[in-house]
Amino acid sequence: MNSTALYRTYRPQTFKDVQGQEHVTEVLEAAIKKGQIAHAYLFSGSRGTGKTSMARIFAREIGCTDKDLYEIDAASNNSVDDIRELREGVYVVPFESPYKVYIVDEAHMLSKSAWNAFLKTLEEPPAHAIFILATTELNKVPATIQSRCDVYTFKQPTRELLAKTVTAVAKKEGYTLERASAELIALLAEGAFRDALGILQKVLTVSKDKKVDISEVERVTGAPQAEQVRALVSALAASDSATALQLVHKAVDGNVDMRMYSKLLLERIRAVLILRHAPDMRPVLEESLSPDDITLAEGLTKEKGITSNTLRALLDAQSLMAYAALPHLPLELAIIDICVERR
């Protein structure tokens, strides 16, 4: 396997390569064709959604070469002196391109004084200068800056898209990824292309037979084993608090991420309720759950052990995990409450 990080090897190079952001690519392509290029853009969205890649593609599409492309990490270059230096360089004409493009990553990290120093330049830049600011926290970018930029919000990729992406990349690398493996990687990536490809790289590194099954993904990532999650679903359906608590204890001993454990549990409880009340939605569930998960959910639809209150209790537990002294404690309390409620 190529030693270069997969997210760098398969970084999109053209607008056509970008997935899941058509609402951005279509507008930018149209603006370039019409010659209606703004002097400042602001790309916002969660990590790993392609903001920096889009900025580089845009720069290339308007004829900016590497010599006239400047990338600044605002997380480490966020002082007023850094912006003053940038401001002085802006007025120097490009080396060989029609534009000089400045990509300011993590723009929300700029200090207040840096923003103030940047404002005038952003408002009245020279004709050859284009700024592209990228941020994961739009609310921290001053309104005075936002009003001077064309703002684009990047969507988190769906799990289906992430699963398709890692499957395609694995194939290009000479590996076969089982559907359940791709789905788990997509879930673990939590809406980030970069994280999905990072997880995939770890998994491919340890794969011995070029065929990646879900157990390999679970082992490498520390994700809960699917069988353990299904066993917990069955225990809750039977109001068997003793077995359910033992399963949680086993997960804790295995150093399983409790938030991920509860997320997988929520999905499978939800599947039971969906199949009970809207069985026609089975094809939708099949896109993200394994055949074993679907079989279990169908088998529990007639059981009265799982209700909407079960799901609410587990949702509340997950929201408390980030603040609990013991991350598994909210889940244990939810299990006790769920089982006691039915007795």
Q: Is residue 289 part of a domain?
A: yes
Q: Answer whether residue 11 is part of any domain.
A: no
Distances (CA, A) of 85 to 91, 96, 120: 11, 21, 14
Residue 268: what pLDDT?
Answer: 93
The encoded tokens of residue 124 equal: 């009245």
Q: Are residues 66 and 137 in the same domain?
A: yes
Where is pLDDT greater, at 287 or 214? 214
Percent of the chain, pLDDT > 70? Answer: 98
pLDDT at 59: 97
Place of tokens 């997960």: 251
Residues 61 and 96 in one domain: yes
> Which residues touch 4 (CB under 8 Å, ≥6 apart)?
none
Looking at residue 51, its amino acid is K
Q: Which pLDDT score, from 0 to 100, does residue 93 have?
A: 95
Whether 65 shows a pLDDT value over 80: the answer reads yes
| Domain hosting residue 53, numbered range | 20-153
Answer yes or no: is 296 within a domain.
Answer: yes
DSSP 223: P
- Which one of 119, 136, 153 terminates a domain? 153
Same domain, 138 and 49: yes
Domain end: 134, 153, 172, which one? 153
Assess whether 210 and 237 both reside in one domain.
Answer: no
Per-residue pLDDT reduced to its tens digit, 91-107? 999 999 999 999 999 99
| Type of residue at 182 | A
Please indicate, yes or no, whether residues 174 and 74 belong to a single structural domain of this protein: no
Q: Could you tell me if residue 7 is inside a domain? A: no
* Position 68 pLDDT exceeds 70: yes
Q: Which of 21-30, 210-219, 282-291 has the highest mean pLDDT?
A: 21-30
Q: What is the pLDDT of residue 1?
A: 54
Residues 228 and 244 sit within 8 Å (Cβ to Cβ): no
CATH number at residue 74: 3.40.50.300
pLDDT at 343: 52
DSSP string, 78-114: -SHHHHHHHHHHHTSPPSSSS-EEEEEETGGGS-HHH
Question: How far apart, in Å, are the Cα atoms of 2 and each of 5, 170, 189, 251, 260?
Answer: 8, 12, 21, 34, 30
Mean pLDDT, range 228-238, rounded to an integer = 93
Total domains, the chain: 3
Residue 3 has a pLDDT of 62
Mean pLDDT throughout 160-183?
92
The residues pairing with 102 across neighbouring beta strands, listed in sequence order, are: 70, 131
Phi/psi of residue 262, each to 5°? -70, -30
| Residue type (1 letter), 181 | S
- Provide the CATH number for the domain around residue 259: 1.20.272.10
Asked if residue 52 belongs to a domain, the reply is yes
pTM of the prediction? 0.81
Q: Is there a single domain that holds both residue 145 and residue 37?
A: yes
106 and 183 fall within a common domain: no
Confidence grade of residue 291 (pLDDT, cut at 50, 70, 90): confident
Give pLDDT, residue 243.
Answer: 95
**How high does pLDDT run on average in the chain?**
91
Residue 138 lies inside a defined structural domain of this protein: yes
Pair (102, 74) in one structural domain: yes
Per-residue model confidence (pLDDT) at position 341: 64
pLDDT (0 to 100) of residue 288? 78
Report d(CA 153, CA 42) in Å as an integer. 8
What is residue 276's predicted lDDT score, i.e. its pLDDT? 94
pLDDT tens, position by position, 105-159: 999 999 999 999 899 889 889 999 999 999 999 999 999 999 999 999 999 999 8
Could you give the CA distance from residue 3 to residue 95 in angstroms, rounded to a whole number?
33
> Does residue 205 sit in the same domain as residue 230?
no
Q: Note whether 303 and 234 are same-domain residues.
A: yes
Stretch 28-45: mean pLDDT = 96
> Which residues are bridge partners to 212 per DSSP?
177
Query: Measured between alpha carbons, how far apart are the two ends of the chain, in Å?
Result: 55
Q: Tell me what pLDDT residue 45 has.
A: 95
Looking at the domain assignment, is residue 59 inside a domain? yes
User: HSE-up of 209 (CA within 13 Å, CB side)?
Assistant: 5
Looking at the chain, the number of H-run helices and the number of E-run strands are 17, 7
At 256, the pLDDT band (50, 70, 90 cuts) reads: confident
In this structure, the answer to whether residues 237 and 267 fall within a common structural domain is yes
Question: What pLDDT is stored for residue 255 in this prediction?
Answer: 86
Residues 217 and 171 placed together within one structural domain of the fold: yes
Tell me, yes or no, whether 4 lies in a domain.
no
Residue with tokens 């120093």: 117
Which range in 200-214, 265-279, 302-316 is most confidently predicted, on average pLDDT?
Answer: 265-279
- With contact defined as beta carbons under 8 Å apart, do 100 and 129 qualify? yes
Q: Which two tokens stand for residue 338?
A: 């769920």
Which structure tokens are listed for 167?
């499957």
Q: CATH number, domain at 215?
A: 1.10.8.60
Phi/psi region, residue 110 (left: phi>0; alpha: psi -120 to 50; beta: rest), is beta
Q: Kindly indicate the confidence band of residue 54, based on its pLDDT and cuts at 50, 70 and 90.
A: very high
Percentage above 90 pLDDT, the chain = 70
pLDDT of residue 300: 94
Mean pLDDT of 223-246: 91
Q: Where residue 273 falls among pLDDT bands split at 50, 70, 90?
A: very high
Domain stops at, among 205, 221, 237: 221
